[in-house]
Each structure stands twice: as structure tokens, then as C-alpha cells.
Structure 1
Amino acid sequence: MQTRMEFNPKQLTSARIARGMTMKDLGEKSGLSRQMISNYETGKTKPKAESLLRLITVLNFPRNFFSADISEVHSGAIYFRSQSAATKKVRDMQKERLKYLYEIFKILSKYVNFPDINLPELVEKDIHNITEEDIALKASELRDVWGIDSVSPVDNLVKLAEKNGVVISEANMSDKHLDAVSRWIVDRPFIMLTDNGESAVRRRFNVAHELGHIILHNSVESIHDYSSQELKSTIERQANMFASHFLLPSQAFSDSLLSTNLEYYVDLKKYWKVSIQAMVFKTHSLGLINDDQRLYLNKKISWKKWKTKEPYDDELRVEKPDLLERVYSMIVENNVLQRNELNLSFKMPRDELEKIIGASINDFDDEEKQRPVLKLIK
């Protein structure tokens, strides 16, 4: 006789939040009452087979997900790019996916050694005591430890970050108010990028911004300890400043700026792979143009309708993370685990798994296959 599957109520909550549903939403879609959903999530009642099947069908999560035990991750503050505009619902959806990313990383890291973390010493200061000099120094130090000279553009930032121990993935969601989320989990930094169809330069700035949080804000235990004004005017501003110093080193950028004519910024964009608007901001921050000149350039950008789409946005290639995909393929191709067994071990929905790993997942079924002999890939 088949034993009844164990049910972890926390997993139902996680799946519901990840899909952006309230208890009422899930109840209506599954034909169950809101109160019954609440009872399931608090552990007062275990769903019967028929009810669980309804929930699985609506949420599109595999059955084994609901018996898994994906722990809450408590180490390190979570930073959300575009914090002020993002709703709590969207932030919560992204937080769940960050947990899924970590679970996938933990399973893959059983079989493959990920790159060592190579970052400069983290800043331990109170956010109000971090100066622009501190930020510029850390941006310069990151270039140094990553082998980038002080005058050259950063080539492929995503690949470079992955090579130096930062785990990056795309999230299976899109929201124009939330570009990215980052967090130290245990002893490694993770960045999850929202799939917003953003331009190459915006994605690069987003990643550099999150690296700023990772390096500058190690003393922050929770963003909820700060007011929305502090988040915007201090923490987010510092991360933006870091991204600017890292992608556009002040002296090298100044030397390249032979003209402040807007059309010249278009040519510079191809070289630095940074948005025209970010370069105008940098020019002003260096004192190379005054307030009136900056206002004039920004008005011209608006008139040309470049606020949302700039020249070369369709030509510059968007950088994609591929470390997790390469690790996944390494495990399968070296017969460490059969593909189906590895897929099942994640206990994740196919759509979430494919987006996080960045590859199509084949042989996604429940057939039992023989376990091969394991070995460690170095």
C-alpha cells in the first residue's frame, strides 16, 4: 500500500508567494476556500490527495516540492534594485526565487567546485560614515583584484563576476519596478536579475550596482532598519556611485571625454558600454559641466526620446549568466548523475529551474534510473 506523502506547509506558502498569489487567489483558482488554504499553510490541516492535486495543478510546482524542506535564509541583508518603486508582493516573489537559486546552487556544489570568491575587503562602516572616497577606492580595488586596469572598459561584467565567485542567475519573472536582488548567503554573494528585457547597458549597471551593495554594505543586517529615505538617498545612492566609479573610472573617463556634445556621448557609449544618461551624470559629478549644461543635455535626451531607449540599445549584446548552466552540463556530461536524477533532485518546477540554470531541461519525468558512481569534478 502506498504511503501518504509528507506535506510541508511552508512549501505551499513559498509556491503561492512565488506565483504572486494571495490565499484568496489560490483558493479561487483551485476551488478551495481561503480558510482551507490558510489551514494548509499553518499546518492545522494536511491536504487530501485530491486537494493537493488541485494546488499542484494551479501552482505548477512538482509534487515532491511540497514534501521538501527549503530552509529560510537568514544571513545577509537583501537588496532590491529599484527598491522604492517595487511593491512588497514583487519583492516577496523575488525573495522566494532567491531561496530557490541557493537550493540549486547547494545541490550543484555537491559535485562541482565553484570558483573561489575573489573580492576586495568588505566595508564594515555604518552607511552614514561611508564617503565617496571610500566608494571610489573599493571600485578601484575591485578592478585591481579582477585584473582590470584603471583605464579600460569592463568587458563582460557578468562573466567576470561569475569567474570571481559571484553566483548570478535570471529570475522567472518580470517587473519594470524591480531589476535585481542581491544577498550574501552563508559565505557567498548571489545576484538574481529580473527578466525585464533591459538593454545591455542597463543590465551591466544593475550588476555593478548589486556588487556595490555586496562590497559596501556588509554591516547592514536588514534594510528594514532604515527609512525609505535612507534607502533611496544613502544606500541606493552609494550603490549607484560604486557602479559609476567601477564602470567609468574618473580619470580615464575624463580623458576620453573630448566633447560634451550629446552626439559624442553616443560614440562613447560603444566604448564604455554605459548608458548616455549615466555618462552625463558622471560628467556633472566630475564638475566637467555645470547644472545648466546638465539640464540642457537631459532635456535634449528627453526630446530625442532616449529616456527609455538609447542609440545602440539594440546592437549591444545583453550579458547572460552561464556558470550554472556550465556546471549543470558538466555534471550530466561526465556521468556524475543522470540528467533525470539530477533534475528530480532539485524538486523545482521546470520553468523556475530552466530560468535559474539558463538552459532547457530535458528528461524531466519521474522514472527511476540507476544511480551511477559519483566523482568530484575540480
Structure 2
Amino acid sequence: MPERSQLRLLSDDATSDSAVEVANAFDAGRLTQARCLAGLTKAALATQVGVSGAAVSQWEARTSPPRPDHLRRLAEVLDVPVEFFAVGRPFAQLDGGSAHFRSLRSTKTSQRVKAVAFAQQVWELTYALEKHIQLPPVDLPGFLPDEADHRLPASPAEAARALRAHWGLGTGPIPHLVRTMEMHGIITTMVPFAGADTPTINAFSTSRMPRPLVVLTPDRGDDVYWHRFTAAHELGHLVLHRDAAPGDPVQELEADAFAAEFLTPAARIGDKLPRRVDFGALEKISHEWGVSFKSLIYRSRELGAISDASARRAYQRLNRLYELGMIEPDPVTNYPGEVPSLLSKAFELAEANGTLTMTSLARELRWRLPRLRLLLGHPDVRPVLRLV
């Protein structure tokens, strides 16, 4: 009988008996995951729990399990149920070297570790939902059963054109990029998963799990055009760099080149670009193709529509327009097709069919309800009471 079925699921208000039971079935990997999500070092966690740093190291190294009283304190500090630390449910093995970060150089190691722990939990949520709902199958070269028939060219631009053809997108604008990615089985999220650290982590992606994952961050959601380019950039990593070690600056340039061609194919956009910088004309193209002024200026220079000098002057004028507030960001929330919804819709369908509730799913995952709501993209809309 699988070990999971032998374990008794417990309430969030852990009793002494429950802590004893979990101590006997302790999963060190869960402690590491919860600690990383909380952004704590081993030493910092040890201080809050009231033990030595060596004790936490021993717990995570599987040398010795924590005592029941320590488990209860760990649950308080890390804001998880005591049973979160028990073995018996699938665990995604992923490390910081398995994810492509949009701004790797400015992303601290501790933030990357937190992001990877979040990605692990997204996979666990996806796995739990797929037991109740059939999600769209993964339809992305590199993840398909017969790879001999579905290999994309190594050139970023050629790969972008090939993926458009594979997905039947034609050569025109892609109106709902994120929804298109989700329709082809790519898990996409956009939640403040790391609290105040989320904006500095920026976007990232990984292809080292059964389903490709793209994590977008809400701060980029303030501008739908930047958001779309970031999503296309991460899509480029998934198809170009599945087996490559992240962190190479060349890979970032290749992902940018993929995104530019995927969103604005040269064969179609080239004739539309004005031969001199005309912000009125660029604005129409921007709205039609869903890309920013900056991207269009870069694309114009890249395709030879304008000179390097003209591009430099255009960037200067563009920056001035932003400073004066003449150009304002257009939030992604105004575009439902650019807001990730696959996981939340999967839960809603399972709930409507009577096979799942928020409480039962949280119990299965051994998360607290606020954590589950966050990963599902269900914000807590309750007003906050502040005593002064």
C-alpha cells in the first residue's frame, strides 16, 4: 500500500499526537522547501525556532528528525500545517540551475531559491488538479513523444516561425499570447509568490518538469506590452534552451530574438514600419501587434527601416514622453487573454463537478488555504482591519 494512504491527514490545529506522528514520517525536503519559500537561511530559522544552526542542518540533511515540539514551532514560523512536513505525496525535484531567470544577474541566490521552491509547489498543484481534470496536452516541440518529427531550428527567428506554423498561428498578430501558451499545455502563473521580493525576481521559466512552466510577475503586468514580450521571451527559452544550463547571456539575446520574431514576424512587420520615426504610426502598429514602442523602434533598426542614429534619437524622445506622462502603461488586467487562468479554471471545473473543494485540495496538498488561493490566482478580497 502506498505510504500516503497510510498517513492520517490532520487539521491545521496540530495536537501533540499529530506532531509525534509527523515526526515519525518526517520529510526533510519539505522543511527545505518551506524554509526557502519563507526566504530564511538555516541560521535565521534556527534562531526563530530556538535551536542551533547545526540542528536545522541535521534536519535537512536527514541525519535526525526534529522533535514534535520543534515541528510545531517550525509550522508556526514557516506558516504551514504541521502535516506539511510529512512524507507521502509527490515532490518535484528542481534546483536553481534548472530555471532561466529574466534578470539572472540582478536576482540574488536567495531569491532564485525562493522562486524554485515556488515552481515546485506549482507542479504539485498541477499534479493534484490533473487527478480531477484533463488539462490541455503539452504541445510544444521538445516535449512531444516523437521528437524526430517535431524539432525546431536552432536559429531563434526560424524557431519562432516554425512554432507559429506548428500552432497554426499564421503570420499576423497574436491577440492572446498567454492564453495561447496555456491552450498548448504550458503552465503559466502571475502571482506575488515571493512577497516584496517578487518584482526583483522578475520572470523565469523551466523545462525540467513534466509540464513546461512560465512564471510571470505582477509588476510587469502593469504594462501589457512588456508582459507579452516577457512571456514570449520565456517561451523562447523553453523551445531553444531546454537542455542548456541557464545563465549564458547569449541565451538571453536568443530568447529576445525569438520573442521579437514570434510577436512581429519580419516578413509581415517589415513593410509596415515607417522609414522615419513617426510615433503616430508606431502607436497604431503597437496596438495592432501588441508590442511596445521600444520594441518597434528596436525592430525598425534591426530590419533596416531606420538608422542607428535615428533609433538613438527615438529612444531619447520616447524616454521624454514617458517622463512627461504622455505615454502611460496599459495594465494586463485589461486584457483577460493575457492573464494566466489555466489552473484557476481547472479548479473551478473540478469544483463545479463536485470532485474538489478548496478545503479538500488544501488538505491534500497540506497547505494553508491562503497559500492555495494565492497559487490559484484567487486574491483575498477581504478588507483589512487596522487598529490604531
Relative to the length of structure 2, the TM-score reads 0.80
How far apart, in 2, do the equivalents of 1:277 and 1:94 lie? 28
What is aligned with 2:199?
176
Distance 1:188 1:44 in 2: 33
CA contact (8 A) 2:141 2:239 kept: yes
Tell me the amino acid that sits aligned with residue 317 of structure 2: K
Instruction: Quote the sequence identity (%).
Output: 25
1:158 aligns with 178
Shift of 1:92: 0.9
Q: Distance in 2 between matches of 1:360 and 1:84?
A: 30
Deviations 1:279-327 (CA, angstroms, capped at 9, x unpaired): 11111110111111111111222233469x8824136625211111111
Q: Is the 8 A contact 1:79 1:183 kept in 2?
A: yes
1:224-251 residue CA offsets vs partner (Å, 9 max, x unmatched): xxxx5xx11x101000100000111113
Q: Please report how far the alpha carbon of residue 142 of structure 1 lies from its aligned counterpart in structure 2 after TM superposition.
A: 1.9
For 2:326 and 2:54, the matched residues in 1 are separated by 50
Q: Of 201, 207, 212, which residue of structure 2 is paired with 1:189?
A: 212
1:108 to 129, 147, 166: 129
Residue 74 of structure 1: how far off its partner (Å): 5.3
Structure 2 gaps of 5+ residues are: 1-15, 148-152, 382-388
2:46 to 14, 17, 27: 27
Quick one: structure 1 residues 260 and 245, their matched pair in 2 at CA, closer, same or farther if it must change by over 3 Å?
same
Q: For 2:201 and 2:309, how far apart are their aligned partners in 1?
A: 31
CA–CA distance in structure 2, aligned partners of residues 82 and 204 of structure 1: 16
Residue 207 of structure 1 corresponds to which residue in structure 2?
Answer: 231
Q: Deviations over 1:190-237 (max 9, x none)?
A: 1122332532111111110111011112342x33xxxx5xx11x1010
* C-alpha contact 2:132 2:350 (8 A) present in aligned 1: yes
Change in CA separation of 1:17 and 1:310 when aligned onto 2, cut-off 3 Å: farther
More helix by share: 2
Residues 37, 117 of structure 2: 8 Å contact kept: yes
Corresponding letter in the other structure for 1:291 = D
Contact 2:46–2:53 at 8 Å: present in 1 too?
A: yes
What's the offset of the Cα at 1:64?
1.9
Decide whether the 8 Å contact of 1:325 with 1:358 is kept in 2. Answer: yes
TM-aligned CA distance change 1:219 to 1:14, over 3 Å: closer
Q: Does 1:257 align with 2:276?
A: no
CA distance in 2, matches of 1:170, 1:15: 20
**Cα distance in 2, alignment partners of residues 155 and 10 from structure 1:** 41
* Residues 11 and 70, structure 1, Cα contact 8 Å, conserved in 2: no
Mapped partners of 2:129, 2:165: distance in 1 = 30
Q: 1:273 aligns with which of 287, 290, 308?
A: 290
> 1:127-175: per-residue Cα shift (whole Å, max 9, x none)?
xxx76xx22222122222333221x211111111111111112341243
288-297 vs 173-182, which moves further: 173-182
Say if 2:327 is the partner of 1:311.
Answer: yes
In 2: Cα distance, 1:103 partner to 1:361 partner: 22
Equivalent residue in structure 2 for 1:240, among 253, 256, 261: 256
Q: Choose which of 7, 16, 22 in structure 1 pairs with 2:35.
A: 16
Computed over aligned residues only, the root mean square deviation of the Cα atoms, in angstroms, reads: 2.8
Q: By how many angstroms is 1:329 displaced?
A: 1.2
Question: What do residues 316-346 of structure 1 show as CA deviations (whole Å, max 9, x unaligned)?
Answer: 6252111111111111211123442222112
Counterpart contact for 2:93–2:120, Cα < 8 Å: yes
**Counterpart for residue 376 of structure 1:** none
Deviation, 1:87, is 1.2
What is the CA-CA distance between 1:262 and the residue it aligns to? Answer: 3.2
Give CA deviations for 1:57-80 in whole Å, capped at 9, x if unaligned.
Answer: 111122221113553435994211
Q: Relative to 1, partners in 2 of residues 1:80 and 1:26: Cα closer, same or farther, differing over 3 Å? A: same
CA, structure 1 residues 188+43, in 2 after alignment: closer, same or farther (shift >3 Å)?
closer
Inter-partner Cα distance in structure 1 for 2:378 and 2:198? 22
* Residues 288/338 of structure 1: CA separation in 2 closer, same or farther (3 Å cut): closer
Deviates more, 1:32-41 or 1:267-276: 32-41
Counterpart in the other structure of 2:11: none
**Distance change in 2, residues 1:341/1:122 (3 Å):** closer
Q: Is this contact kept in 1: 2:138–2:184, CA < 8 A?
A: yes
CA distance in 2: counterparts of 1:237 and 1:70, whole angstroms: 36
Question: Matches of residues 311-330 of structure 1 in structure 2 within 5 Å?
Answer: 311-314=327-330, 317=334, 319-330=338-349
Contact 1:73 1:99 in 2 (8 A): yes
Correspondence 1:71 to 2:70: no
